[in-house]
Amino acid sequence: MVNKAVRVTKANGAVVETQSKPFSASDMDADEVLIKNVAVACNPKDWKLAAYGLFEGIEGNDVAGYVEAVGSDVKDLTKDDGVIALTRAAKADKYGAYQAYTVAPAWTTAKLADSISFEDGATVPLAATTAFVGLFDKLGLPEPSPAGRPSADADKVNLLVWGASSSVGAYVVQLARIAGFNIVAVAGAAQDAVKSLGVEGSKIVDYRADRTTVIANINAAAGAPITHVYDAISTKDTVDTIVSLLSSAPNKGGKLTTLLATAYDDETENQKLQREKGIVYNRTIGSVVHHDKKEFGERWFKLVAKWLGEGKMKPNKVQILEGGLDGVPGGLKLLQENKVSGAKLVARIADTKS
Ligand SMILES: NC(=O)c1ccc[n+]([C@@H]2O[C@H](COP(=O)([O-])OP(=O)(O)OC[C@H]3O[C@@H](n4cnc5c(N)ncnc54)[C@H](OP(=O)(O)O)[C@@H]3O)[C@@H](O)[C@H]2O)c1
């Protein structure tokens, strides 16, 4: 059995350690499950939280594997079900993905269709959750029906997805397409990945140009005022460009959500942005599904897993890390150096050397 885990600390970064004992059923609460991991995926937060002094411990939140045990309150999952799960972030080692067994909240654990591999499934949890929280909670956009039919006023939404080739952005694009919104996508080297999600080339704008050109190209691609922006990249540069875009003709302000902290998280700046530029800003944090958005999170998490099985959505492109958990430190370094394009880094537990 694999007895390794990847611990991330501020002082040492990501280090593979030997575990004396894996987590077990005795470590779960009544509304949790224990998963025997097959494949786990990397997210930028896995190096960031320790580097910023926010959490040190066994990292990772994207898990795909088999249910090993369920808590007494869990009714819809049983031992040996193939599942994907989003675990609690920055909380405790038992929730870390980078180990052989992980504990996950049952409401963000969903059955994985037989047609989807564990490697593909592992790309889904955090990125897709962040996508649906941003679209349907923070931007407050009209939800499609559970069967995947757009709401009546969906075509009034002109949505800009900045970073459409990123892991989160790829799920934003797919959910927005199902929801029936008009989409303009911003991407760079991985534009083909965005086309493969069904976005026409004429609706994809390259961010690798000066700000004036990018804004002109977005307006030309949209052909109508942008009403909402999902910024899946959220650097100062992307946010400044989007504010400039939304506050100039033909646009008339709009709603903006980002994934990282910005100057507009400050209440005074937020009010000023709304008053002077007509932009309503909110930051998206995917892990709200483990706090005040539990029911919303459960409904959407299980729906996304269902739509994956039905082929309505597809997973991120997978880039396998050599050596399983031993490859995770190198993978997190690639993410830190912005060297991953249009793919999700995935480690297979069985590839880890014993
Ligand atoms: N708030 C939350 O809950 C939450 C959740 C998940 C992630 N995040 C954050 O969201 C960000 C994205 O995460 P991720 O996992 O989706 O990242 P990722 O997949 O690793 O992002 C890589 C992609 O970013 C694209 N990119 C880089 N700079 C860009 C720019 N200026 N404009 C447009 N696209 C650009 C690249 O596109 P090309 O290859 O096409 O050039 C590349 O494909 C990270 O900062 C992460 O920490 C936050």
Q: Of all atoms in ligand 1, which is nearest to the CA of residue 316?
A: 19
Which residue's alpha carbon is nearest to atom 4 within ligand 1? 259
Average pLDDT over residues 298-320: 98
Single out the residue of 91, 39, 129, 20 nearest to residue 350, CA to CA: 39
Q: Of all atoms in ligand 1, which is nearest to the CA of residue 207?
A: 32
Return the pLDDT at 5.
98
* CA 44 to each of CA 2, 62, 112, 192: distance values in angstroms, whole numbers, following the listed order: 24, 12, 24, 22
Average pLDDT over residues 204-215: 98
**Which mutation among 126, 161, 166 tests ligand 1's pocket best, with the greatest number of atoms within 8 A of CB?**
166
Average pLDDT over residues 282-300: 98
pLDDT digits (tens, 9 = 90+) for 250-266: 999 999 999 999 999 99
97 pLDDT higher than 90: yes
How remote is the CA of residue 163 from the centroid of ligand 1, in Å? 6
Average pLDDT over residues 40-50: 98
How remote is the CA of residue 165 from the centroid of ligand 1, in Å? 8
Does 133 contact ligand 1 (Cβ within 6 A)?
no
Tokens 């539990």 belong to: 294
Does 187 contact ligand 1 (Cβ within 6 A)?
yes
Return the pLDDT at 212.
98
How remote is the CA of residue 273 from the centroid of ligand 1, in Å? 24
160 pLDDT higher than 90: yes
135 pLDDT higher than 90: yes
pLDDT over 90 percentage in the chain:
99
20 pLDDT higher than 90: yes
Q: At a CB cut-off of 8 Å and minimum separation 6, what does 222 contact?
A: 158, 160, 182, 184
How remote is the CA of residue 28 from the centroid of ligand 1, in Å? 32
Query: Hey, what domains does the chain have and what are their CATH numbers?
Result: 4-124+315-351 (3.90.180.10), 128-286 (3.40.50.720)
Average pLDDT over residues 73-97: 98
1 pLDDT higher than 90: no
Does 163 contact ligand 1 (Cβ within 6 A)?
yes
Return the pLDDT at 354.
82
Does 258 contact ligand 1 (Cβ within 6 A)?
no
Which residue's alpha carbon is nearest to atom 32 within ligand 1? 163
* CA atoms of 214 and 267, how far apart (whole Å): 29
306's tokens: 């269902």
How remote is the CA of residue 225 from the centroid of ligand 1, in Å? 25
Please check whether residue 162 is in contact with residue 238, taking contact to mean a CB–CB distance below 8 angstroms.
yes
Does 260 contact ligand 1 (Cβ within 6 A)?
yes
Q: How far apart are the first and last CA of the chain?
A: 7
